[in-house]
Amino acid sequence: MPAQVFRPGREGAAAVLGPLEGAVMEVVWQVGGPVGVPAVHQALTAGGRAISYSAIKAVLNNLTGKGRLAKTRAGKMTLFAAAQTREAFEAEVVASVVGSLKRNFGAPAIAQLVSEFASDEASLAEFERLIAERRAELKR
């Protein structure tokens, strides 16, 4: 399920999903287990946001179709659970975005990543540690 589109101007899951899809995923991850449409609807409308119940239900079903959620039944209620943890989702997105940058832009992308993340001695030392780790893995 790699990210197909990355929108740098958006926050969190919405950077690769639609804004409402991202908000729904945030609720599902916060709950941490199977959740029904009513609970997701209540969580998203609690702050005064106007979203219809049917829109939430449609988004949950769409996310299931995309493989982001798993659907089960408990009696008459349909429950939805995240197909992967937030951490696994984020790792997948980062791998997809960075891999695409490397393939399409090569050295400038790597230089920019180093510039962004190695901004002080501590982060530079962490970069060097990770590079040494990777170098050792490649020699095996």
List the domain boundaries for the chain. 12-82, 86-139
Q: What is the mean pLDDT of residues 45-58?
A: 93
| Contacts of residue 17, Cβ cutoff 8 Å, sequence gap at least 6 | 25, 63, 68
In this prediction the pTM is 0.81
Confidence band of 30 (pLDDT split at 50, 70, 90): very high
Q: What is the pLDDT of residues 101-126, one digit of tens each?
A: 999 999 999 899 888 888 889 998 99
Closest CA to 5 of 72, 106, 83, 19: 19
Lowest pLDDT segment from 3-17, 31-45, 56-70, 81-95: 3-17
CATH number attached to the domain at 12-82: 1.10.10.10
